[in-house]
Structure 1
Amino acid sequence: MKHKIERTKLNNGLTILTCNISHLQTVTLSFLIKKGSRHEPAELNGITHFIEHLVFKGTRNKNMKQIATELDLLGGDFNAYTSYENLTFLIRTIKNYWKQAFELLAEIITQPTFDKVNIELEKDVINEEIQMIEDNPESLLCEIVQSSIFPNHSLGRPITGSEKTIKNFTPEILKNYHACLLKPENLIIAAAGNIKHDELVNFVIERLKINPSTGTKIPVEQNPKMHFPFLVKDRRELNQVQLAFTFPWIKASDPRYHISIILEKLLGDTYSSRLWQKIREEKGLVYSLGLDITSFLDCGYLCLTMATAPNNLEKLIKITFQEIRKLKENLFSKAELDIFKRQAEISILLATEDSVGLLENMLNSELIHNKQISTQELISSIKKVTPYHIQELANEFFLSNRAGLICLGKVDKDTLRSLYLDAIELLQL
């Protein structure tokens, strides 16, 4: 089903998006701020995430208990999250309550009190969150991957910040940075579900008051230099070795995005993918593996993650690079390609079955392309992918001099380096 998407940009720079789905009984509403942790100066690392937490601790008119109660009374799903490039607040409720949901979100986001006692308590909470990441090998590996690819750049710093940076946050610092975030041109208000575009636009104009001159502009360093190193982090207490294979990849707006979707599924993102079948089902070297493509507005990378026993390392590394080489060297069959095309098409359609999925797709199109890319357009592009497209993309990015390997666990660094150097030669055709 084709859904009507409408867009209005107000004179102050604020953008409003809606996707009307008249048969639904629900509305998903989002306030998205187009600033994330990559926009933070080093000394304020973690401040966007900190503000995300703190706005729920109280406003000029409501304390944290009242906010929590009102969220529960709306009876829907609520989420807030900070990414490297955005800060998002999202609520899903029934259609009769969308105005109450809007007013509550607007008050939370625009009128936080930044109480000193709450700030100190939240520092403890976020320090616990940081320790939780440190204690989880998979989460820690992801942090190490990001910092190794983007050293000395804001993309390489943790979204949560560090104990060192957040301990210096004061009410004044937080208020000033909040004012920088909350500029109309940084804000997208989006809704999907049983809601009319004009009603939302009029309600925003009537109820949301943001001063265009508030705060100063937050700069960002574009097109960061990326690194793909060999790196070992000793964690003797781990029984398994955590591995991450990293490569440069396309940025979010690259027109080959649809080709990337198929390659991702073919290589390691599905149960019938080549790596899953070879490494897990045929060889039994891992319990699970992950393939993630991280695409920013100006750069991207591909990361394969897996964990195995130390005595399996040689086999695992060699097989992984052998399978990547096959993508570069050989075309695969139309029958195999059709499996992953169908899987991709179904995944895309499933994501449009509810208002949350539709809203997220609508926001991604706006942020990445500054226009709407319909589900039908994306599926049409996927249907046109050929084996030659996959091979071409693989040969462009899977290069021996741009192949990183990051290891977390109990291994001999020199032995692993030797295995790695031998294996990356497989990428040379």
Structure 2
Amino acid sequence: MGTSLRRRVATGPPPVLAFKPFGRRTGRMRRIRKTVTSSGLTVVSERMDHLRSVSLGIWVRAGSRHEPLEQSGIAHFIEHLVFKGTERRSTRQIAEESDWLGGTLDAFTSHECAAYSAKILDEHLPRAFDLLADLVTAPRFDAQEIEKERHVILEEMRLVEDTPDDLATELFLRHFWPQHRLGRPILGTEETLFRLTREAVWHYFKQLYTPPNLVVSAAGHVEHERLVELAARYFDHIPDSGLRPQDTTPKPSPQIVLHKKEQLSETQILLGAQCPGLRSRDRHAVLLLSSILGGGTSSRLFQTIREDHGLAYATSAGTMLFSDTGLFLIHAATSPKNVLRVLDLIVAELRRLKREPVPAEELQRAKEQAKAATMLSLESSNARMAHIAQQEIYFGHQTSYDQILRSIEAVSVDDLQRLAMEIFQTEALALVLLGRLDSVRVDREQLAC
């Protein structure tokens, strides 16, 4: 079978939490090692002896929130363009070598980072490293390829327009953080995309694709010393620009936005507010609060809106957590005639969380659900490779399963009620309605909780 080549856009950071599944294994240390080379490049690895594969990633500590305002979308554009040819490989040769390796080649851009990864047999690590390093150190940025790729990304933008929940999220971010880079789409806009010059692409690349801004991570049947040797060979000669990604924490501008899209049969409801981010001590409590409200079929919103009232096929609550801030989001899709009824039920559940302590049994169920989901997601070498890279990017160190588990178990009923009081304030809530709105009207009083 040939290699699968994929490129993705991530609207928020992937999960960076992990949990120890069984008490009897608590004392076993994960075999994670870290080295910082002379050029400032960070190398992290986790050895998994029972595998014959290696998942390898090169991560950039910069995403769409670190772009100049006038260059919105440039980080994602570069992620596309590096696959269009390097100084040593043509576009076709990149594809052929990917197939020869026989695994998967992947890339994505998020608000806070970008990543290029491969999963291959352990014996192919040197060749896979050579390919990934070539992509992120020596792209050609050919003028003709740049023009062609603009139109590919334009089609990607149109796909978002045709995906109701993605479009609702984009509208929410745009209106919630209108003056901040987190409020802009990762893809940029058509205007900024066609304004990006080859010179601007080169400048951004040279400034941020430097060793101190990169993390090399690997998990699987890998020797850390060999990984460090490869990293030094391919990256230690690259000069440091001295630029480090920086940004300010956004100030919210909660609004009620009604966006008509007549061709949709259902109206998308997206209600949310700002919440603590990944580096907050409350991050575990925020995730548990979202789970209780709308994290599964036993959650309050699912039981109330779908099971009790039959007003929606699916409804959920979740978070978009960034390094310094986050969004607590509640989603539902329903027919236009039921929008206000569904909205009333959601607000009633928020009011209940503020006024009534969550029963201890319900909280414990949410904890067990979170632990199981996270551990199951970390069963592959690819997930572990991403996990150790994200731990390094967001926290600067690796957190053990035991430490995280203790933090989860330490979340109390009082913590949840305190967070509900802080997050679900009437003036802090923002709302996006997308679809056939007919005569729907919503004011701030209807969000009172």
Q: TM-score surpassing 0.5?
A: yes
Q: Once superposed, what is the RMSD of the aligned Cα atoms?
A: 1.6
Name the amino acid aligned to 1:189: V
Matched, 1:333 2:359: yes
Partner of 1:359: 385
CA–CA distance in structure 2, aligned partners of residues 303 and 285 of structure 1? 19
Note if contact 2:63-2:114 (Cα within 8 Å) is conserved in structure 1.
Answer: yes
CA–CA distance in structure 2, aligned partners of residues 352 and 298 of structure 1? 24
CA–CA distance in structure 2, aligned partners of residues 218 and 21 of structure 1? 33
CA–CA distance in structure 2, aligned partners of residues 130 and 271 of structure 1? 32
CA–CA distance in structure 2, aligned partners of residues 78 and 149 of structure 1? 35
Specify the SS of the correspondent of 1:129.
Answer: helix
CA–CA distance in structure 2, aligned partners of residues 403 and 321 of structure 1? 10
Which residue of 149, 153, 161 corresponds with 1:126? 153
Name the amino acid aligned to 1:201: V
Partner of 1:8: 35
Matched, 1:392 2:418: yes
The alpha-carbon deviation at position 206 of structure 1 amounts to 2.3
Note if contact 1:289-1:306 (Cα within 8 Å) is conserved in structure 2.
Answer: yes
Partner of 1:318: 344
Residues 379-403 of structure 1 show CA distances to partners (whole Å, capped at 9, x for unaligned) of 2222222222211211111111101
Note if contact 1:348-1:375 (Cα within 8 Å) is conserved in structure 2.
Answer: no
Specify the SS of the correspondent of 2:340.
Answer: helix
Note if contact 1:39-1:218 (Cα within 8 Å) is conserved in structure 2.
Answer: no
Partner of 2:205: 178
Structure 1 portions without partners, runs of 5+: none
CA–CA distance in structure 2, aligned partners of residues 86 and 349 of structure 1? 23
Specify the SS of the correspondent of 1:416.
Answer: coil
Matched, 1:422 2:438: no
Which residue of 399, 405, 414 corresponds with 1:373? 399
Partner of 2:312: 286
Which residue of 60, 73, 95 corresponds with 2:100? 73
Change (3 A) 1:221 1:204: closer
Which residue of 300, 303, 307 corresponds with 1:277? 303
Structure 2 portions without partners, runs of 5+: 1-24
Name the amino acid aligned to 1:365: Q
Note if contact 1:29-1:90 (Cα within 8 Å) is conserved in structure 2.
Answer: yes
Specify the SS of the correspondent of 1:3.
Answer: coil
Which residue of 45, 48, 58 corresponds with 1:18? 45
Which residue of 109, 112, 116 corresponds with 1:82? 109
CA–CA distance in structure 2, aligned partners of residues 356 and 328 of structure 1? 39
CA–CA distance in structure 1, aligned partners of residues 438 and 179 of structure 2? 27
Specify the SS of the correspondent of 1:417.
Answer: coil
CA–CA distance in structure 2, aligned partners of residues 376 and 30 of structure 1? 25
Partner of 2:19: none
CA–CA distance in structure 1, aligned partners of residues 447 and 99 of structure 2? 53
Partner of 1:207: 234
CA–CA distance in structure 2, aligned partners of residues 317 and 174 of structure 1? 44
Name the amino acid aligned to 1:137: P
The alpha-carbon deviation at position 144 of structure 1 amounts to 0.5
The alpha-carbon deviation at position 135 of structure 1 amounts to 2.0
Specify the SS of the correspondent of 1:188.
Answer: strand
Specify the SS of the correspondent of 2:441.
Answer: helix
The alpha-carbon deviation at position 13 of structure 1 amounts to 1.5
CA–CA distance in structure 1, aligned partners of residues 257 and 136 of structure 2? 41
Note if contact 2:39-2:235 (Cα within 8 Å) is conserved in structure 1.
Answer: no
Name the amino acid aligned to 1:208: F
Matched, 1:165 2:187: no
Size of the aligned set, in residue pairs, is: 422
The alpha-carbon deviation at position 261 of structure 1 amounts to 2.1
Note if contact 1:184-1:210 (Cα within 8 Å) is conserved in structure 2.
Answer: no
TM score, norm. by length of structure 1: 0.94
Note if contact 2:273-2:428 (Cα within 8 Å) is conserved in structure 1.
Answer: yes
Residues 237-263 of structure 1 show CA distances to partners (whole Å, capped at 9, x for unaligned) of 322111110111001111122212211
The alpha-carbon deviation at position 273 of structure 1 amounts to 0.6
- Runs ≥4 in structure 1, deviation > 4 angstroms? none
Specify the SS of the correspondent of 2:398.
Answer: coil
Q: Which sits farther off after the overlay, 234-243 or 32-41?
A: 234-243
Partner of 2:18: none
Specify the SS of the correspondent of 2:106.
Answer: strand
TM score, norm. by length of structure 2: 0.90
Change (3 A) 1:186 1:357: same
The alpha-carbon deviation at position 320 of structure 1 amounts to 0.3
